[in-house]
Structure 1
Amino acid sequence: MKSFIALALIGFSTLAAADELQVAQPQPVVEHYTYATNLDIAKVISVSPTDDVCEVVPAQMTYEDHQGQRHILEYRVMGNGCSNG
């Protein structure tokens, strides 16, 4: 009886440990934005910070589409370092 209880506890602990493991998903390929790009953005996960320069710089947005697939979109944005005076 003790061995049965021990086996049951080992089985439950193995199942609990398997639930805590996260399967590593491959990093998505960086897609480059063009005006012809069709965007399907359901949830924005992160946006890279914009540099403090007065020129156009690359930025990246990580998002999920409506099917739950993760994407990384690279686009161009004006830097934050320009002043009006």
Structure 2
Amino acid sequence: MQKILLSLALLAGFAAQAQATDEAIAYRYGMQLDVAQVLSITPVADVCGVVPVEMTYLDSHGGKHILQFSEFGSGCSN
């Protein structure tokens, strides 16, 4: 019975995450990603330093997700 309740709780958590497609999720090292198609990536800011970037993508089940990660800006000169 406990296994069934745990399974249902996990499924409910995954369903809630899948429905929250308009909110960006911050990337964590080692995070398992299911990227079937990249829809868009925000342009990298023209500054010298680390800036946030967002990638919108579809997973293998057609679910839409927004992933936020850091990238070094393009404004640095040698």
TM-score (norm 1): 0.66
Partners of 1:29 and 1:55 lie apart in 2 by 24
Aligned match of 1:73 in 25, 47, 67? Answer: 67
How far apart in 2 are the matches of 1:44 and 1:78?
A: 20
Report 1:25-64 matches (<5 A): 27-64=21-58
List alignment gaps of at least 5 residues for structure 1: 1-24
Max radius of gyration: which structure?
1
Aligned residues with identical type, % of pairs: 47
Moved over 4 A (4+): none
Shift of 1:37: 1.0
Residue 26 of structure 1 and its aligned partner are, at CA, apart by 6.9
Q: How far does the alpha carbon of each residue in 1:14-36 deviate from its partner, in whole angstroms, 9 at most, with x for none? A: xxxxxxxxxxx975321100112
Paired residues, number: 60
TM-score, normalised via structure 2 length: 0.71
Aligned-residue CA RMSD (Å): 1.6
Structure 2: unaligned runs, 5 residues or longer: 1-18
2 CA distance for matches of 1:38 and 1:28?
19
Cα deviation 1:25-56 (Å, max 9, x = unaligned): 97532110011211110000000000000000
